[in-house]
Amino acid sequence: MAAPLFVSAPMRLSWKQLLITALLVAPLSVGARHAYAQPSNPRFGRWLLKSDAPAPASNIMTYEPLGSTGMKVTIQAVNARGDTTRWSYATDFDGRDMPVTGNASQTHAAVRPISSLVNEIVNKSNGRVTQRLTNVLSPDFQTIAVIYMREDADGKTTGVTFATYTRMPL
């Protein structure tokens, strides 16, 4: 008669086997919990513009989840006099024009991913492209670099500026 493949009696592990098992399994469970807790889009959060401008001047971008795959973008800027402007739009990252609220010079924004770290944003005013942005998230998810390219009515680039935003603590 052959030996059974499965033993019905409880298996006893030595303290060394238990310790080794615990040391191997614990990091996996912590890593899984950490991965589950992370948002699906690493851009979610608040981002502060790096600037040499004296206080109270500031610019904060806030990216929030919207629906199952979208994002709400809110920009709050404070100028040197302390005047605050706040504008926002939503995107599903599908390149569609979406309404912008609170920005007199921009009526629509369209966002499309170029890669997992790069988005193109096209700003429009009453149907005319006014600005193209290339928004690049750093591989460590702590910095966003933005290239702003302004366009005239003929689609010619009239100016280029650069900005760097750093992730703000929660």
Inform me whether the pLDDT recorded for 141 exceeds 70.
Answer: yes
Which are the contacts of 90, defined by CB distance < 8 A and separation ≥ 6? 66, 70, 71, 72, 73, 98
Cα distance between residue 31 and residue 14, in whole Å: 26
What is the chain's mean pLDDT, rounded? 84
| pLDDT for the residue 66 | 96
HSE (side-chain half, CA atoms, 13 Å) at 74: 12
| pLDDT for the residue 37 | 45
pLDDT per position as a tens digit, 55-88: 889 999 999 999 999 999 999 999 999 999 999 9
pLDDT per position as a tens digit, 108-137: 999 999 999 999 999 999 999 999 999 999
| pLDDT for the residue 170 | 81
Helix (H/G/I), strand (E/B), else coil: 163: strand
pLDDT per position as a tens digit, 9-32: 444 545 445 445 444 444 443 444
CB 112 within 8 A of CB 94: yes
* pLDDT band, very low/low/confident/very high, at 40 (cuts 50, 70, 90): confident
* pLDDT band, very low/low/confident/very high, at 1 (cuts 50, 70, 90): low
Question: pTM (2 decimals)?
Answer: 0.75
pLDDT per position as a tens digit, 153-165: 999 999 999 999 9
The letter for the amino acid at 120 is E
| pLDDT for the residue 19 | 42
Tell the residue number behind the tokens 């401008």, with chain if given: 53
Reduced 3-state DSSP string for 110-169:
EEEECCCCEEEEEEEECCEEEEEEEEEECCCCCEEEEEEEEECCCCCEEEEEEEEEEECC
CB 148 within 8 A of CB 162: yes
The letter for the amino acid at 155 is G
| pLDDT for the residue 23 | 45
Q: Which domains does the chain have, with CATH numbers?
A: 45-167 (2.40.128.20)
